[in-house]
Amino acid sequence: MLRLTFLGTSSGVPSLTRNVSGLAVQTHLGRAWMLVDCGEGTQHQVQRAGLSLHDLQAVCISHVHGDHCFGLPGLLASAGMNARKEPLQLIAPEPVWRWLQTTLECTDTHLPYPLEWIDVADPTPWQWQPSITLSRHAQKHRVPSYAFRIDCTRAIRRLKTDALQALGLPPGPAWKALSHGQDVPFEGRLLHSADWVHEEVQHIAAVLGGDNAEPACLQAACEGAQLLVHEATYAQAVLDKVGPGPMHSSVQLVATFAQQQGVPNLILTHFSPRHHTADEQQVLRTEAQTHYQGQVFLAQDFDRFELAFDGALTRRH
């Protein structure tokens, strides 16, 4: 399972209802979480969302723009003031790492835990946990910008109940023992657990886009993914007026790509403040549904989504 908590859904500047970018990622494996992007005020949103900086294991920064990283120094310092000791992984562009060094030095900030930097441009996938892998995928923006794909697997042991029934072994303690990996004597022979258990590996994947003017460059990244989270800064009509300079996507661009790609679930985020009102959000929703037949959500701050191992996406309130 992948659980996503949106900590900020505004583009560029915060508004009274939406903070700048920040997205918490959790899995079925427990309280540990990873943060994707860290705009100013993310540590405040972390508190409000009931997440703990002690359980944070990695921070991923998609690109150098301030609305995606200006919250880093405060979040790191607060984790230190809360007596964090465990190492923290930072997957970020090199200039962000360089900026952090200067920040810590100039502001007399001393982190009481190791901060371990991985260059976001390094193509080697990062193993977050044995069953969870993070890979980076280049996008088109004014500066180098990366999407993060999270692949999550789970091995399920299923007892071959039909075969056991056929053998004449009825449900009971012997079934439980076999399913827990223990061998069981039955009618003068030893039933080996491995022979009577089928291991099924379940797999889900989500692609979490950073700022990106061309959704189509995520074609390979979206292969086999059940969910795409992507910026949709503008309605198409607004993008037409603004022009290509900012290198952001419209709802139409993203929805069209997701439809062509056959991604079954789409979450849009990173909305320009001009689109924060309920009326404007409805405009965006309509535009999305016009070009995309899958399940689409427009993220709000503190929305929590769960992608189950059967590929179903649910919004939790």
List residues with catalytic annotation. Answer: 67
Is 65 within any annotated ligand binding site? Answer: yes
Nearer residue to a second copy within complex by CB, 107 or 289 = 107
Token pair belonging to 88: 């923290």
Residue type present at position 281: Q
The number of residues in the chain equals 317
Nearer residue to a second copy within complex by CB, 106 or 166 = 106
Nearer residue to a second copy within complex by CB, 5 or 265 = 5
Token pair belonging to 97: 């790492």
Chain centroid, CA 282 distance in Å? 25
Residue 310 CB: number of other CB atoms within 10 A? 9
- Please give the residues from 87 up to 146 whose contact with a second copy meets the rule CB under 8 A: 95-96, 98-99, 102-103, 105-109, 142-143
Q: How far is the CB of 241 from a second copy (least distance, A)?
A: 16
Q: Is residue 269 within 8 Å of residue 210, measured between CB atoms?
A: no
Phi, psi of 59 (to 5 degrees): -120, 130
Identify each DSSP E strand in the chain by its residue range.
Answer: 2-8, 22-27, 33-38, 56-60, 88-92, 115-119, 126-129, 132-139, 145-159, 184-186, 189-191, 197-208, 227-231, 265-269, 295-298, 304-307, 313-316
Nearer residue to a second copy within complex by CB, 19 or 27 = 19
> Does residue 15 touch a second copy according to CB under 8 A?
yes
Is 67 within any annotated ligand binding site? Answer: yes
Q: How far is the CB of 12 from a second copy (least distance, A)?
A: 5
Per CB under 8 A, which region of 58-66, 175-183, 234-242, 301-309 contacts a second copy?
A: 58-66
Is 63 within any annotated ligand binding site? Answer: yes
Question: Which residues contribute to the annotated binding site?
Answer: 63, 65, 67-68, 141, 211, 270
Question: Which residues contribute to the annotated binding site for Zn(2+)?
Answer: 63, 65, 67-68, 141, 211, 270
Per CB under 8 A, residues contacting a second copy are: 12-16, 19-20, 39-41, 43-44, 47-48, 64-67, 69-71, 73-74, 77-78, 81-82, 95-96, 98-99, 102-103, 105-109, 142-143
